[in-house]
Amino acid sequence: MPSTVHDFSVTNIMGLPKSLADYKGKVLLIVNTASKCGLTPQYAGIQALYDTYRDQGLEILGFPCNQFGKQEPGSNEEIQSFCQVNYGVTFPMFDKIKVNGKDAHPLYQHLKSVAPGALGLKTIKWNFTKFLVDADGNVVKRFEPNIEPEQLTADIEALLDSSA
């Protein structure tokens, strides 16, 4: 049974395998995303966090998901283009995945089990649920979709300071 985020492999948006062990020593923000959601403008705030903290050790990992209102219907190529053109996204994006149900990606099964949502529910409620992970790969905190990226600043800075 995997014990940290670093124990997982994923597929990047270009279809290539990526070990999350490559991010050892980095603070991670993992987000399930969608291009046609009322929360889609959060891409701008997430990119701003990346611009501000990347050089200090923050990596942001975006996982497109079409499970909520079918708000991410495009191909990986369409998703990547949309994110770059509309929000200037430069943080790593990954293959479209499922975050709930029997076909949920193993990474998200892990995230939900170690950081359940309100009332201990082990499901993702909507697009733009965010998980903050320390430099050792441990999930530290879960933020529900309505939490704006700017509201994560203090938590991110605290983890960056502790891993420096």
pTM for the full predicted model: 0.95
Q: pLDDT tens-digit profile of 99-157?
A: 999 999 999 999 999 988 877 878 999 999 999 999 999 999 999 999 999 999 999 99
- Produce one character per residue of 8-33: b if its CB has 16 or more CB atoms within 10 Å, e if not: bebeebeeeebebeebeebbbbbbbb
Rg (CA), the chain: 14
Which candidate in 10, 20, 30, 37 is catalytic? 37
Q: Which of 47, 107, 44, 97 is nearest to 72 (CA)?
A: 97
Tell me whether residue 37 is one of the annotated catalytic residues: yes
Name residues whose C-beta falls within 8 Å of residue 20's C-beta, 6 or more positions apart in sequence. Answer: 5, 6, 7, 8, 9, 10, 28, 61, 107, 137
Residue 1 has pLDDT above 60, yes or no: no
**Beta carbons of 62 and 94 less than 8 angstroms apart:** yes
Q: Which residues pair with 97 in a beta bridge?
A: 65
Q: Return the higher-pLDDT residue of 53 and 163.
A: 53
Name residues whose C-beta falls within 8 Å of residue 77's C-beta, 6 or more positions apart in sequence. Answer: none
Check if CATH label 3.40.30.10 holds for domain 5-163: yes
Q: pLDDT tens-digit profile of 47-85?
A: 999 999 999 999 999 999 999 999 999 999 999 999 999
Interatomic CA distance for residues 164 and 37, integer angstroms: 36
